[in-house]
Structure 1
Amino acid sequence: MRLHVADHPLISHKLAVLRNKETASPTFRQLVDELVTLLAYEATRDVRTTEHPISTPVTDTVGVKIADPQPLVVPILRAGLGMLEGMTRLVPTAEVGFLGMQRNEETLEVATYANRLPDDLTGRQCFLLDPMLATGNTLVAAIDFLFERGAKDVTAVCLIAAPEGIKVVEEHVGDRLDVNVVVAAVDERLNEQAYIVPGLGDAGDRLYGIVD
């Protein structure tokens, strides 16, 4: 597994505003969108391309275009939806699938409750979107889900991560170079409730409000 922490002043600034508990949902959503677009530049660094002949106003030349099959962007519901537009803005030709995964707050086990993905992902580059890499269990389950369907490589884009979660993913995937994790920051730790510290709270609630 390869971990990339996007160390950039603009990312750090936006993340600090995102963490502030006084930041309202509309601003929170906007900042998540902006942060994901910045992270997407790093996440798509190794996206596959193919040569493509073009004609400029001056002469014929050869450029590149994103290769087929097109990348697949997979937000993990529901919080990952808040990251979707920021990612597809940068890769508008990407296709979009959805995974609904829910963590049991007592056992911390992950259950898949929704799946809107092709059955065959052979040769596809996939980008998982999930704001928080906390225990790592959700991300591990999602990575397995994609590889079991033939995905070529998987890059996870997260806003923040806990060291414990990174360790879980690393131990699960080993030294596979086809698994990448791109984050804006690695925080201190998890607390007793498996929330990231200092974190930013529940990303889904802060994006969309609390649903009873």
Structure 2
Amino acid sequence: MVTVVDHPLVQHKLTIMRKKETSTAGFRRLLREISLLLCYEVTRGLEITYERIETPLEPMDAPMLEGKKLVFASVLRAGNGLLEGMLDLVPAARVAHIGLYRDHETLQPVHYFFKAPSDLGNRLVIVVDPMLATANSAVAAIDKLKEEGATNIRFLCLLAAPEGVERFTQAHPDVPVFTASIDDRLNEKGYILPGLGDAGDRMYGTK
């Protein structure tokens, strides 16, 4: 299942991020802001329990999140841009880091780091990576999390390509995808078009 978050604020901020003249500082700020809005959508439907509390006026049964803390799994390095804003919204979440980079010749993912909280099988894991392009890295990240015991996983990205969505949903049909846009296509180098360039480079000012 793929959910496109078409909220006007999300789309407005995404348009500014796409502009090539947007500065590194501006891009980073917008990514943090848009991640708050996307986090709101990807956490919709979390399980709720009720707790007896005292307001200043009277007691009530008030809703609270149920179960163990969420895990936000950031696909390094660009995933950290989404991660920071999401932690503003859910500061108690646990964090996993998945080190992957794309070989520019083969476009295949290369693992170099993995660190995650224990008992992933008892937690909702939300994987964050700005781009779902070829989906090779995203599929590899989900493969690793499942190997480590995760069973309840959602994937959040800023942009997706149709090719990436197809590959991802074939590989992991049980993992819902949330994105702000499904763009037109991939180019011959595996970049999303029209896209916004390399999210990591634009966020950190590297080339």
- The interval holding the TM-score normalised by the smaller chain is over 0.9
1:193 is matched with: 189
CA distance in 1 between partners of 2:192 and 2:184 (Å): 8
Matches within 5 A, 1:1-212: 2-174=1-173, 176=174, 179-210=175-206
Q: Percentage identity across aligned positions?
A: 45
Closer, same or farther: CA 145–48 of 1 in aligned 2, 3 Å: farther
Cα deviation code 1:47-98 (max 9, x no counterpart): 2332222111222111222223100011111111111121111111111111
1:109, distance to aligned residue in structure 2 (A): 1.1
The answer as to whether partners of 1:124 and 1:150 remain within 8 angstroms in 2 is no
Report the TM-score, using the length of structure 1 for normalisation.
Answer: 0.93
CA distance in 1 between partners of 2:157 and 2:20 (Å): 19
Aligned residues: 207
The answer as to whether partners of 1:72 and 1:95 remain within 8 angstroms in 2 is yes
Cα deviation code 1:108-128 (max 9, x no counterpart): 111110111135312110111
1:18, distance to aligned residue in structure 2 (A): 0.2
Unmatched segments (≥5 aa) in structure 2: none
Which one is further off, 202-211 or 131-140? Answer: 202-211
Q: Secondary structure of the equivalent of 2:196?
A: coil
CA distance in 2 between partners of 1:46 and 1:72 (Å): 16
The answer as to whether partners of 2:160 and 2:183 remain within 8 angstroms in 1 is yes
